[in-house]
Structure 1
Amino acid sequence: MNRTASIRRKIGIVLVLFLCLAASSGPIRHYAAFPDELRLFEGQSKRLHYAMPVHAQGSLDPQVAVVNGANREHFPVDLNKPLSIESKNSGVTKLKLRLFGKIPFKTVKLQVVPDLRVVPGGQTIGVKVKSAGIMVVGHHLIRTSPETRMSPGEEAKLRLGDLIVEINGQPLNDVSKVAALAEQAGKSNVPLDLVVQRGKSRFRTQLKPAFDLEDKVWRLGLYIRNSAAGVGTLTFYAPDQGVYGALGHVITDMDTQTPIVVGDGQILQSNVLSISKSQNGEPGEKRANFVKEGKTLGSVERNTSFGIFGKMRELPDHGLHQKPVPVAFAEEVEEGPAEILTVVNGQKVEKFNIQIVHVAKQTSPATKGMVIRITDPRLLERTGGIVQGMSGSPIIQKGKLVGAVTHVFVNDPTSGYGCYIEWMLQDAGIVLQPNQTTSKAV
Structure 2
Amino acid sequence: MTKGILKRLFGLALASLVVALFSSTPVRDWASTPAHIRLLEGHSTLLKLGLPVSATVITSNSHVATVRGNPDSRAAFNLKQPIEIDSLTQGDTDVQVKLFGFLPLKSVHVSVVPDIRVIPGGQSIGVKIKSNGIMVVGYNLVKYQQHSISPAEQANIKIGDVITAIDGRKVESVEQAANLINKAGKENRDLEITVLRSKSQVKLRVKPTWDKETETYRIGLYIRDSAAGVGTLTFYAPTYNVFGALGHVISDMDTGQPIQVKEGQVVHSSVTSIDKGESGQPGEKRGVMIDEDNVLGTITKNCDFGVFGHMKKAPERGLMTEPIPIALAEQVKEGPAKILTVVDGQKVEEYSIEIVNVLRQKYPATKSMVIRITDPRLLEKTGGIIQGMSGSPIIQGGKLVGAVTHVFVNDPTQGYGVFIEWMLNEAGIETKASKAS
TM-score bracket, shorter-length normalisation: over 0.9
TM alignment of 1:170-185, pairs within 5 A? 170-185=169-184
**CA-CA distance at 1:171 after TM superposition:** 2.0
CA separation of 1:78/1:200 partners in 2, compared to 1, >3 Å: closer, same or farther? Answer: farther
Tell me, yes or no, if the aligned pair for 2:121 and 2:393 is still in contact at 8 Å: yes
Tell me, yes or no, if the aligned pair for 1:145 and 1:213 is still in contact at 8 Å: no
Alpha-carbon separation, structure 1, partners of 2:140 and 2:338: 48
**CA-CA distance at 1:411 after TM superposition:** 1.0
Q: Which residue of 2 aligns with 1:112?
A: 112
Alpha-carbon separation, structure 2, partners of 1:154 and 1:74: 74
Q: Which amino acid aligns with 1:51?
A: G
Q: Which residue of 2 aligns with 1:51?
A: 50
**TM-score, normalising length: structure 1:** 0.94
Alpha-carbon separation, structure 1, partners of 2:250 and 2:350: 26
Alpha-carbon separation, structure 2, partners of 1:155 and 1:187: 20
**CA-CA distance at 1:223 after TM superposition:** 1.1
Tell me, yes or no, if the aligned pair for 1:269 and 1:294 is still in contact at 8 Å: no
**CA-CA distance at 1:113 after TM superposition:** 1.2
Q: Which residue of 2 aligns with 1:199?
A: 198
Q: Which amino acid aligns with 1:374?
A: I
Instruction: Specify every segment of 5 or more residues in structure 2 that has no aligned partner in the other structure, as ranges.
Output: none
Deviates more, 1:210-219 or 1:407-416: 210-219
Tell me, yes or no, if the aligned pair for 2:267 and 2:292 is still in contact at 8 Å: no
Q: Which residue of 2 aligns with 1:265?
A: 264
**CA-CA distance at 1:312 after TM superposition:** 1.1
Q: Which residue of 2 aligns with 1:36?
A: 35
Alpha-carbon separation, structure 2, partners of 1:226 and 1:6: 83
Q: Secondary structure at the match of 1:389?
A: coil
Alpha-carbon separation, structure 2, partners of 1:106 and 1:200: 48
Tell me, yes or no, if the aligned pair for 2:238 and 2:313 is still in contact at 8 Å: no
CA separation of 1:128/1:7 partners in 2, compared to 1, >3 Å: closer, same or farther? Answer: same
TM alignment of 1:146-157, pairs within 5 A? 146=146, 148-157=147-156
TM alignment of 1:34-433, pairs within 5 A? 34-60=33-59, 61-146=61-146, 148-292=147-291, 294-433=293-432
Deviates more, 1:23-32 or 1:205-214: 205-214
Deviates more, 1:49-58 or 1:231-240: 49-58
Alpha-carbon separation, structure 1, partners of 2:74 and 2:164: 61
Structure 1, residues 42-95: CA drift from partner, whole Å, max 9, x if none?
110111111112233332111001013322244333322211100001111111
Deviates more, 1:213-222 or 1:261-270: 213-222
Alpha-carbon separation, structure 2, partners of 1:66 and 1:140: 69
**CA-CA distance at 1:279 after TM superposition:** 1.3
**CA-CA distance at 1:314 after TM superposition:** 3.8
Q: Which amino acid aligns with 2:154?
A: E
Alpha-carbon separation, structure 1, partners of 2:11 and 2:219: 78
Structure 1, residues 200-236: CA drift from partner, whole Å, max 9, x if none?
2223333322233554421112111111111100000
**TM-score, normalising length: structure 2:** 0.95
Alpha-carbon separation, structure 2, partners of 1:372 and 1:386: 10
Residues paired across the two proteins, number: 436
Alpha-carbon separation, structure 1, partners of 2:94 and 2:158: 53
Alpha-carbon separation, structure 2, partners of 1:59 and 1:366: 36
CA separation of 1:20/1:134 partners in 2, compared to 1, >3 Å: closer, same or farther? Answer: same
Alpha-carbon separation, structure 1, partners of 2:322 and 2:37: 28
**CA-CA distance at 1:292 after TM superposition:** 4.1
Q: Secondary structure at the match of 2:337?
A: strand
Alpha-carbon separation, structure 2, partners of 1:246 and 1:237: 9
Alpha-carbon separation, structure 2, partners of 1:227 and 1:356: 36
Instruction: Specify every segment of 5 or more residues in structure 1 that has no aligned partner in the other structure, as ranges.
Output: none
Alpha-carbon separation, structure 2, partners of 1:293 and 1:357: 39
Q: Secondary structure at the match of 1:300?
A: strand
**CA-CA distance at 1:256 after TM superposition:** 0.6
Q: Secondary structure at the match of 1:96?
A: strand
**CA-CA distance at 1:9 after TM superposition:** 5.5
State percent identity of aligned pairs.
51
Structure 1, residues 6-25: CA drift from partner, whole Å, max 9, x if none?
66654554444333312210
Q: CA RMSD in A?
A: 1.9
Alpha-carbon separation, structure 2, partners of 1:397 and 1:90: 24
Q: Secondary structure at the match of 2:30?
A: helix
Alpha-carbon separation, structure 2, partners of 1:204 and 1:101: 71
**CA-CA distance at 1:153 after TM superposition:** 1.7
Alpha-carbon separation, structure 2, partners of 1:206 and 1:241: 46
Alpha-carbon separation, structure 2, partners of 1:225 and 1:235: 28
Alpha-carbon separation, structure 2, partners of 1:206 and 1:57: 75
Q: Which amino acid aligns with 1:159?
A: K
Alpha-carbon separation, structure 1, partners of 2:4 and 2:253: 70
Q: Secondary structure at the match of 1:254?
A: coil
Q: Secondary structure at the match of 2:296?
A: strand
CA separation of 1:219/1:58 partners in 2, compared to 1, >3 Å: closer, same or farther? Answer: same
